[in-house]
């Protein structure tokens, strides 16, 4: 086994280390989600923690790590008689992003269960992680149904595997740690809430600290064993402190004053439900035990809020994370109680750091009344001096709920909430012979396949002889996430401030819809003489919103260039992720200027999408009393449909999806 990097040798990252240690002291805190950019020691810290976990006594031969002092009465390997046990280190189990449901929860042999009545169960990763650590790197990239299973097991302390009336249950209590890079996409708010604590990490900007990080890493890489030996004394001290804090934890008193502060803080930050209050209470209690105290103080409540509330107070994916610490301090002071008199709690060297809150940024200053350098036909505005060529970015109007745009047909892409797809979860639509391991049995189809052969198999009385050839896999239909590629006209014909604000508001609304439906998004813009990929396809709608916010406008309309660049983006993405079907959302007034035969070139470029069968929607931004209908003509060339900005609203039109599907069929 390789030597892990010592936990006590980590440089900085106080909040990350504290959150991990609090969960080691009290797994009831509910785990920790670590959010941050690449290369910030997220995985290193989690693996280092496993070496600090106290050793375990387990029943000999039990695949589910039962405690010999209180074995699980429902253990599939039980019942366990008093007797032999073994001592081993706590396990750290890693869940790969591409793991299947059977790999996570275990596999039940349906064939043997039906034909022999035997519960032949092969434990999964949840069983391996019992009484240890379950680590999920890139948890935001896991399929939603796997995250649901994972968090349900963490909350209930048990895992259930049920197939066609055959059920197996086993204990599954573990320290859950997830890491993620927010640039690769967010977790749904419902899933964020299920993690007890969250920590935002970033690389230090202090040169001396960065130098020390590199120095220690190079020393570890040269000789891991020797490096670990240099930190053995500090590691032993932290390990002993974890054991002592666990023993002290039941004696810690959470007074009424601290409880009032917790309740007031959760109410002040308007968090939903009561889970935040419970997690804060458990975290504050663990903080007191970690500090060697038997009473929870205001400092514990404050630190618990900084760890337990940031991911719960967010209301939409574009809000900045963190807490308003001034508001937090005012709330704690207003509801301070008599239990909080100790002015100097000793959090120790690994105690509370400077807090994880990030103040929300001030609103960006509004641009001046600059206008396009060369307004096109039908547009107003004063020309700027030669060479200016663009208008300053304008803010988006308020987002709204949009109509659902979907890709016609049935796909097989990543799980999501937009278009129809064949999935492992969803409503049953039919049956087929299994390809590989059987996962979802279609019982009726299996019985129908086996029934005609019963006499040949020697069965003349009640009962049914089922063989492997009779088994039928259920086919299911659910929803998939798509690649929504926004192609936005940023030319002078779109540059009227009121119009561009409405256009950005519409795109922002569609981005919010894409976030909720688990899509990947990309952004192509065109203006002047060329088109740019403002954002390559990504799962981060935050990045798309940021690119949209700073989008300048002005110049001619190279519509053909924008379409060709979008077509090239789809071609490359099809090679990377062939199962994810695209939906092109072209936001334009349909005008094409610049270069020879701009309208004809745009038409030829549009027909490339129709030839490839790419679903598309044109958001018609034309305004004014005289309308040319160019966007509608362009939609016809694309093989898609056109919808105005007003019609895009969910309460404005009916049958848009049917129209998209009819035109694309």
The DSSP string of 390-416 is: -BPP-PPPPP-PBPPP--SS-B--SEE
Nearest to 256 by CA among 371, 330, 337, 357: 337
pTM: 0.66
Quick one: the chain helix, strand, coil %, rounded to 5? Answer: 40, 20, 45
412 assigned to some structural domain: no
Query: What is the spatial distance between Cα 186 and Cα 291, in angstroms, rounded to a whole number?
Result: 34
pLDDT digits (tens, 9 = 90+) for 346-359: 444 444 443 334 33
Q: Which residues contact 359 (CB under 8 A, 6 or more apart)?
A: 320, 322, 324, 325
Nearest to 502 by CA among 392, 619, 405: 619
Please provide residue 512's backbone torsions phi and psi, each rounded to the nearest 5 degrees: -60, -40
Domain span at residue 278?
252-334
Residue 287's pLDDT band, with cuts at 50, 70 and 90, is very high
Task: Quote the tokens at residue 621.
Answer: 């931004």
Task: Quote the tokens at residue 458.
Answer: 């020697």
Chosen domain end from 179, 206, 233: 206
Q: At what angle do helices 256-268 and 275-290 cross, to 10 degrees?
A: 130
100 assigned to some structural domain: yes
Q: How far out from the chain centre does Cα 4 lie?
A: 28
3-state class (DSSP) for residue 527 = strand
Position 321 scores a pLDDT of 62
574 assigned to some structural domain: yes
pLDDT of residue 654 exceeding 50: no
- CB distance 637 to 604 below 8 Å: no
Query: What is the spatial distance between Cα 120 and Cα 107, in angstroms, rounded to a whole number?
Result: 8
Beta strands across the sheet bearing 473-480: 415-423, 473-480, 427-432
50 & 198 share domain: yes
Chosen domain end from 171, 186, 206: 206
More confident call, 15 vs 540: 15
Q: If you average pLDDT over every residue of the chain, what do you get?
A: 81
Report the DSSP pairing between strands 530-538 and 582-588. unpaired
The 8-class DSSP code of residue 295 comes to B
Please report, for the domain that includes residue 194, its CATH number.
3.40.50.300
pLDDT of residue 562 exceeding 50: yes
Position 355 scores a pLDDT of 39
Chosen domain end from 206, 235, 264: 206
135 & 189 share domain: yes
* Cross-strand pairs, 121: 108
pLDDT of residue 419 exceeding 80: yes
115 & 177 share domain: yes
157 & 41 share domain: yes
Question: Residue 79, preceding bond cis, omega within 30 degrees?
Answer: yes
Nearest to 240 by CA among 80, 460, 53: 53
* Cross-strand pairs, 92: 133
pLDDT of residue 139 exceeding 80: yes
* Cross-strand pairs, 411: 421
280 & 149 share domain: no
Map tokens 């008093």 to a residue.
82
Q: Which residues contact 146 (CB under 8 A, 6 or more apart)?
A: 99, 101, 104
40 & 136 share domain: yes
62 assigned to some structural domain: no
- CB distance 562 to 468 below 8 Å: no
- CB distance 532 to 575 below 8 Å: no
502 & 472 share domain: no
Q: Among positive and negative, which fits the CA dihedral 411, 97, 485, 606? A: negative
Apex 42 CA angle, 38 and 46, nearest 5: 155
Domain count, the chain: 4
Map tokens 């275990």 to a residue.
106
Report the DSSP pairing between strands 158-163 and 166-171. antiparallel
175 assigned to some structural domain: yes
Query: What is the spatial distance between Cα 616 and Cα 359, in angstroms, rounded to a whole number?
Result: 40
441 assigned to some structural domain: yes
Catalytic site residues?
A: 275
Q: Which residues contact 124 (CB under 8 A, 6 or more apart)?
A: 102, 103, 104, 105, 106, 107, 159
pLDDT digits (tens, 9 = 90+) for 424-466: 777 788 888 888 777 778 878 888 888 888 888 877 777 778 8
506 & 592 share domain: yes
Please report, for the domain that includes residue 277, its CATH number.
1.10.8.80
573 & 628 share domain: yes
Section 142-147 average pLDDT: 76
Report the DSSP pairing between strands 175-180 and 427-432. unpaired
- CB distance 193 to 311 below 8 Å: yes
pLDDT digits (tens, 9 = 90+) for 102-130: 888 887 766 666 666 666 778 899 999 99
Cβ count near 362 (within 10 Å): 6
pLDDT of residue 136 exceeding 80: yes
> Backbone dihedral region of 296: left (phi > 0), alpha (psi from -120 to 50 degrees) or beta?
beta
Residue 657's pLDDT band, with cuts at 50, 70 and 90, is very low
Position 306 scores a pLDDT of 93
More confident call, 656 vs 28: 28
Label residues 601-612 b or e (16+ Cβ within 10 Å = b): bbbebbebbbee
Position 495 scores a pLDDT of 63
Assign 3-class secondary structure to 451-509: HHHCCCCCCCCCCCCCCHHHCCEEEEEEEECCEEEEEEECCHHHCCHHHHHHHHHHHHH
DSSP letters spanning 584-608: EEEEE-----SSSSHHHHHHHHHHH
Section 24-52 average pLDDT: 87
Q: Which residues contact 137 (CB under 8 A, 6 or more apart)?
A: 42, 43, 94, 97, 178, 179
> Backbone dihedral region of 609: left (phi > 0), alpha (psi from -120 to 50 degrees) or beta?
alpha
Query: What is the spatial distance between Cα 185 and Cα 182, in angstroms, rounded to a whole number?
Result: 5
pLDDT digits (tens, 9 = 90+) for 580-607: 999 999 999 998 887 788 989 999 999 9
* Length of the chain in terms of residues written: 665
Side-chain-facing half-sphere of 382: CA atoms under 13 Å: 4
Query: C-alpha distances in angstroms, 131 versus 6, 56, 72?
Result: 21, 8, 12
Section 151-171 average pLDDT: 80
488 & 563 share domain: yes
Map tokens 């052969």 to a residue.
453
514 assigned to some structural domain: yes
Apex 428 CA angle, 425 and 434, nearest 5: 80
Query: What is the spatial distance between Cα 613 and Cα 234, in angstroms, rounded to a whole number?
Result: 62
554 assigned to some structural domain: yes
Query: What is the spatial distance between Cα 425 and Cα 476, in angstroms, rounded to a whole number?
Result: 6
470 & 520 share domain: no
486 & 529 share domain: yes
pLDDT digits (tens, 9 = 90+) for 243-257: 999 999 999 999 999
Residue 205's pLDDT band, with cuts at 50, 70 and 90, is confident
Residue percentage of the chain with pLDDT more than 70: 83
């Amino acid at each position: 086994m390789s030597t892990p990097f010592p936990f006590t040798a980590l440089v900085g990252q106080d909040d990350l280390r504290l959150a991990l240690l609090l969960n080691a002291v009290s797994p009831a805190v509910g785990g920790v989600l670590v959010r941050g950019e690449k290369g910030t020691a997220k995985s290193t810290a989690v693996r280092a923690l496993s070496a600090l976990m106290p050793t375990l006594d387990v029943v000999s031969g039990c695949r589910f790590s039962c405690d010999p002092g209180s074995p699980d009465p429902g253990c599939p390997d039980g019942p366990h008689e008093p007797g032999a046990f073994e001592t081993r280190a706590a396990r750290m189990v890693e869940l790969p992003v591409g793991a299947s449901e059977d790999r996570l929860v275990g596999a039940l042999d349906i064939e043997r269960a039906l034909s022999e009545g035997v519960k032949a169960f092969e434990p999964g990763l949840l069983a391996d992680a019992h009484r240890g650590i379950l680590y999920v790197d890139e948890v935001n990239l896991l399929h939603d149904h796997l995250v649901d299973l994972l968090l349900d097991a963490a909350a209930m302390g048990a895992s259930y595997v049920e197939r066609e009336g055959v059920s197996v249950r086993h204990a599954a209590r573990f320290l859950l740690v997830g890491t993620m890079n927010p640039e690769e996409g967010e977790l749904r708010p419902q899933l964020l809430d299920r993690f007890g604590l969250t920590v935002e990490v970033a690389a230090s900007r202090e040169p001396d600290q960065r130098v020390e990080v590199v120095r220690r890493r190079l020393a570890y890489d040269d000789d891991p064993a020797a490096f670990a030996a240099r930190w053995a004394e500090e590691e032993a001290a932290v390990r002993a402190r974890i054991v002592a804090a666990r023993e002290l934890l039941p004696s810690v008193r959470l007074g009424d004053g601290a409880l009032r502060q917790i309740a007031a803080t959760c109410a002040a930050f308007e968090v939903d439900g009561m889970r935040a209050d419970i997690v804060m209470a458990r975290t504050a209690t663990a903080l007191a035990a970690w500090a060697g105290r038997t009473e929870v103080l205001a400092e514990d409540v404050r630190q618990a809020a900084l760890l337990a509330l940031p991911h719960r107070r967010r209301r939409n994916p574009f809000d900045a994370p963190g807490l308003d610490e001034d508001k937090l301090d005012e709330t704690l002071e207003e509801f301070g109680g008599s239990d909080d008199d100790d002015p100097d709690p000793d959090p120790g060297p690994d105690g509370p750091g400077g807090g994880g809150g990030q103040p929300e940024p001030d609103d960006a200053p509004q641009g001046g009344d600059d206008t396009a350098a060369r307004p096109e036909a039908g547009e107003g505005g004063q020309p700027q001096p030669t060479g200016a060529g663009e208008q300053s970015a304008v803010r988006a109007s308020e987002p709204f709920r949009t109509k659902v745009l979907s890709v016609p047909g049935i796909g097989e892409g990543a799980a999501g909430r937009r278009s129809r797809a064949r999935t492992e979860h969803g409503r049953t639509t039919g049956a087929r012979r299994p390809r590989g391991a059987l996962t979802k049995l279609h019982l009726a189809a299996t019985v129908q396949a086996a029934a005609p052969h019963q006499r040949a198999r020697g069965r003349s009385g009640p009962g049914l002889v089922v063989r492997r050839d009779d088994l039928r896999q259920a086919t299911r239909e659910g929803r998939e996430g798509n690649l929504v590629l926004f192609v936005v006209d940023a030319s002078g014909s779109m540059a009227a401030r009121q119009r561009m604000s409405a256009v950005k508001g519409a795109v922002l609304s569609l981005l919010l819809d894409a976030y909720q439906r688990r899509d990947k998004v990309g952004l192509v813009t065109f203006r002047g003489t060329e088109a740019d990929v403002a954002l390559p396809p990504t799962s981060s709608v935050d990045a798309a919103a940021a690119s949209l916010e700073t989008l300048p406008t002005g110049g001619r309309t190279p519509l053909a260039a924008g379409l060709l660049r979008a077509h090239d983006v789809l071609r490359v993405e099809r090679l990377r992720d062939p199962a994810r079907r695209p939906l092109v959302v072209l936001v334009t007034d349909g005008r094409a200027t610049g270069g020879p035969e701009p309208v004809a070139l745009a038409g030829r470029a549009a027909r490339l999408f129709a030839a490839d069968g790419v679903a598309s929607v044109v958001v018609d931004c034309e305004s004014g009393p005289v309308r040319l209908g160019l966007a509608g003509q362009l939609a016809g060339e694309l093989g898609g449909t056109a919808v105005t900005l007003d019609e895009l609203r969910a309460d404005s039109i009916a049958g848009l999806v049917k129209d998209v599907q009819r035109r694309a069929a």
